[in-house]
Amino acid sequence: MFEKLKARLVVRGDEQLRNPWKQKNKAPTVAQASVNMTIAITAHENNDMESIDVPGAYLNADTPEEEKEVIILQKEETEILVDLFPEFSEYVTTDKTMLLLVDKALYGMLESAYYWYINICSTLIDDGGYKQNESDECVFSFKTKDGKMSIIDLWVDDLFHSLLWNVTGKRYNQWWYICQRTKVFGRLIKI
């Protein structure tokens, strides 16, 4: 028997209306040359490198107030939602569907990757003290007082991270400090 059932609400981006006034809806990804450079710097500094997948990354990204999307739940989805949350029954339309205003990115939305990118950038820069690279907007670096460097390359919801070690041999904790302070990362998985 099942101990737990799990479901995820996704949007069909192929049916999503495209807004011609939106300037950007795709997230950039790190250039291969930047990844190669990060690997070279990591080797030169004798640091370690890790690859991290951020599960549920898009679900942690807020949608900007002026770009909130409205989605229509079809009859079947509406019935399931009302069964789970009877208080939502007052929002069911006459044709048994429901309109929802989306305030968090959902998988399948055209803009989800972009919202995640904006969210992770502000977290790394504002909360983590990282600086964004001028040549590649998906590369972030953090320099310690003693000149050691931590580098993060973004590729959609994966991060390549060059790890720092301090003189006592302990791992420099700036990266994990950011993860603890913010909820943008959800639960991290090393791959």
Tens-place pLDDT, residues 67-110: 777 878 889 888 988 998 899 899 899 999 888 888 888 777 77
pLDDT at 87: 93
pLDDT at 189: 43
Question: What is this structure's pTM?
Answer: 0.73
Which segments within the chain are labelled E, that is strand?
48-53, 69-73, 98-102, 131-132, 139-143, 149-155, 158-163, 189-190
pLDDT at 106: 78
pLDDT at 156: 84
Over the chain, what is the mean pLDDT? 77
pLDDT at 112: 83
Q: Dihedrals φ, ψ of 19, to 5°?
A: -90, 115
98 touches 81 (CB < 8 A): yes
The residues of the chain scoring below 70 in pLDDT are 1-2, 6-25, 164-191
Q: Alpha-carbon distance 91 to 176, whole Å?
A: 42
